[in-house]
Amino acid sequence: MAEPRPRVWASQPLFGDVVDRLRAHFELEVTPEATDHPPARIAEALADADGALVTLNERIGAAEIARAPRLRAVANVAVGYDNLDVPALSAAGVLVTNTPDVLTETTADLGFALLMAAARRIGESERWLREGRWQGWSFDRLLGVDVHGSTLGILGMGRIGQAIARRGRGFGMRVAYHNRSRLPEAVERELGAVRLSFEALLAEADHLVLVLPYSAATHHIVDAAALARMKPTATLVNIARGGIVDEHALAEALAAGRLAAAGLDVFEGEPAVRPELLALRNVVLTPHIGSASLATRRAMAALAVDNLIAALGAGPQAGRPPNPVNAEAVAAAGRKR
């Protein structure tokens, strides 16, 4: 009698034809429609699962896997994984994977779009026009700030940060960055980028783009004190994670004219957005759509499926998922599921 096949839970429907590739190897349970799963439902779904395909909507930690003795792998359909308690999963012998690289250029596109929209007051101008307030051309109406020839500041110079820098060079911008470690000199030359201290970057940037990972160390790294160092004519763009910015302090700075504009794709309490931000006209708000192109989202789902197939010991890359996050920690924990 054949052994039962491993069981996999897909938390969201994603793309049916992509997710269906899992059926060749596993017993697959797919959530039929987009769902906000409460913790108890996540724990129930994982209880008899060997693997899971999840999105940023699903938060998984020790409580959710406490009664999941078979769980061996969780494939996150995202490059970030702050929705997962990686130390808890590692201690339980659960491999975590993510989907880097495939969303780099698309996310950089959105970041630069927000930069331009905030700098040139695109959102504010559109609302003003739609409200029927445009009665004729005026020389000094809705004046923004230039992008070309300005200083582009990038906080966090990983893949996406470097892609933002390349776009900035195309606009003739001076590129400055702050990162925990300096880029290789050859990469700095290619990007035309100079590394500054965090304080100097805040002071010199005409447009500051946040693309650093969220952690306890970066929580509210852009706070009232940091905002006070920025030029009053500057724009701030966040395509990283909401918790990096103290949104109350940001709203106050924008309302008081201490900062010209902002473009935000991520929010600390998302999907909830602070009412103070919603009320402001000098902030462009998008609902976490950094990677939201059809081609990129399909590529992310496909890579997550590849990761899960390999992590559960199937397919041509069995045992060697392309993008493990915690393989060393899992090995060190010595837990075999």
Predicted local confidence at residue 337, as pLDDT: 43
pTM: 0.90
Domain ranges in the chain with CATH number 3.40.50.720: 7-101+294-333, 104-285
Fold of 7-101+294-333: Rossmann fold (3.40.50)
Dihedral angle, C-alpha 215, 220, 225, 226, nearest 10 °: 60
Amino acid sitting at position 71? L
Q: Which residue has the tokens 């392309």?
A: 322
Least Cα distance to 194 among 215, 171, 168, 217 occurs for 168
Amino acid sitting at position 208? L
Helix (H, G, I), strand (E, B) or coil at 229: helix
pLDDT digits (tens, 9 = 90+) for 198-254: 999 999 999 999 999 998 999 999 999 999 999 999 999 999 999 999 999 999 999
**Which of 270, 274, 276, 337 is labelled catalytic?**
270
Q: Which residues contact 80 (CB under 8 A, 6 or more apart)?
A: 56, 98, 213, 214, 241
Predicted local confidence at residue 3, as pLDDT: 73
Least Cα distance to 201 among 217, 185, 222 occurs for 222
Least Cα distance to 326 among 60, 67, 64, 107 occurs for 60
Tokens coding 86: 């990686």
Q: Which residues contact 223 (CB under 8 A, 6 or more apart)?
A: 246, 249
Conformation bin of residue 149: beta by default, left when phi > 0, alpha when psi is -120 to 50? left
For the domain spanning 104-285, the CATH number is 3.40.50.720
Q: How many CB atoms lie within 10 A of CB 331?
A: 12
**Which of 5, 174, 274, 288 is labelled catalytic?**
288
**Which of 120, 241, 268, 297 is labelled catalytic?**
241
Helix ranges (DSSP H) in the chain: 16-19, 39-46, 62-65, 86-91, 104-119, 122-130, 159-170, 185-191, 198-204, 224-229, 247-256, 275-278, 294-311, 327-333
Q: pLDDT tens track of the chain, all 337 residues?
A: 557 899 999 999 999 999 999 999 999 999 999 999 999 999 999 999 999 999 999 999 999 999 999 999 999 999 989 899 999 999 999 999 999 999 999 999 999 999 999 999 999 999 999 999 999 889 989 999 999 999 999 999 999 999 999 999 999 999 999 999 999 999 999 999 999 999 999 999 999 999 999 989 999 999 999 999 999 999 999 999 999 999 999 999 999 999 999 999 999 999 999 999 999 999 999 999 999 999 999 999 999 999 999 999 887 777 889 999 999 888 877 644 4
The question of whether 270 is a catalytic residue gets the answer yes
Contact of 52 with 75, CB cutoff 8 Å: yes
Report the C-alpha gap between 283 and 114 in whole angstroms.
Answer: 9
